[in-house]
Amino acid sequence: MSHFIDPFLDDVQSASEINGQDDPRYYANDPKSLVSQSKVHSFINGTGSAVYKSLVPLLESTNHELILVTCFWARSDTLESLKDVLLKLSDKAVRRGTEKIRVQLCFSSSSLFQKLFHKQTTLGQEYPPSDWAKKLDLPEKSELGGLELSVKSIFILPFSVMHPKYVIIDRQTVVLPSCNISWEEWFEGALVFSGPIVSQFTKFHTEFWTRQSPLPLPATSPSEVVAQPSEPGLSNLSHAHTITHFPLSSSPSIPTIFLPSPHRRNPQFRPFASASNITPPPTPLNTFFLALLAKATSRVTIQTPNVTSPPVLSAILSALARGIDVHIRTSARLMILEQLVTAGTTTSRCVKTLIKRYKRLVHSSQASSLSTNDEEAAIAISPSRPGRLRIEFFEPLDGAKKRGQEGGEPQQSHLKMTCVDGEVVVLGSGNLDRASWFTSQELGVAFFDKNLVESIERSVGEAMNGRTRTVFDSEESGMTS
d(CA 436, CA 359): 28
State pTM to two decimals: 0.93
Whether residue 24 is preceded by a cis peptide bond, meaning omega within 30 degrees of 0, is: yes
Neighbours of 354 (CB within 10 A): 23
d(CA 29, CA 15): 9
What pLDDT was estimated at residue 312? 97
Farthest-apart Cα atoms in the chain, separation: 84
What pLDDT was estimated at residue 230? 47
CA atoms within 13 A on the CB side of 40: 28
Identify which of 147, 150, 104 has the alpha carbon closest to the alpha carbon of residue 131: 150
Cβ burial of 205 (10 Å; 0-12, 13-18, 19+) is: buried
- What tens-digit pLDDT sequence spans the chain (481 residues)? 889 999 999 999 999 999 999 999 999 999 999 999 999 999 999 999 999 999 999 999 999 999 999 999 999 999 999 999 999 999 999 999 989 999 999 999 999 889 998 999 999 999 999 999 999 999 999 999 999 999 999 999 998 999 999 999 999 999 999 999 999 999 999 999 999 999 999 999 999 999 998 888 887 655 555 545 546 788 888 999 999 999 876 566 999 999 999 999 876 666 545 656 689 999 999 999 999 999 999 999 999 999 999 999 999 999 999 999 999 999 998 988 888 988 889 999 999 999 999 999 999 888 776 555 543 443 344 456 899 999 999 999 989 999 999 999 999 999 999 999 999 999 999 999 999 999 999 999 999 999 999 999 999 999 999 999 999 999 887 776 5
| Span(s) in the chain for CATH 3.30.870.10 | 41-215+231-254, 259-473
The CATH fold of domain 41-215+231-254 = Endonuclease; Chain A (3.30.870)
- DSSP string of 351-396, one letter each residue: HHHHHHHHHHHHHHHHHHHHTS-HHHHHHHHHHHSPPPEEEEEE--
Q: What is the DSSP letter of 263?
A: -
Q: Does domain 259-473 have CATH number 3.90.226.10?
A: no
Q: What is the DSSP letter of 457?
A: H
Return the ∠ at Cα 415 (arms to 244 and 392), rounded to 5°. Answer: 110
DSSP-derived 3-state class of residue 242? strand
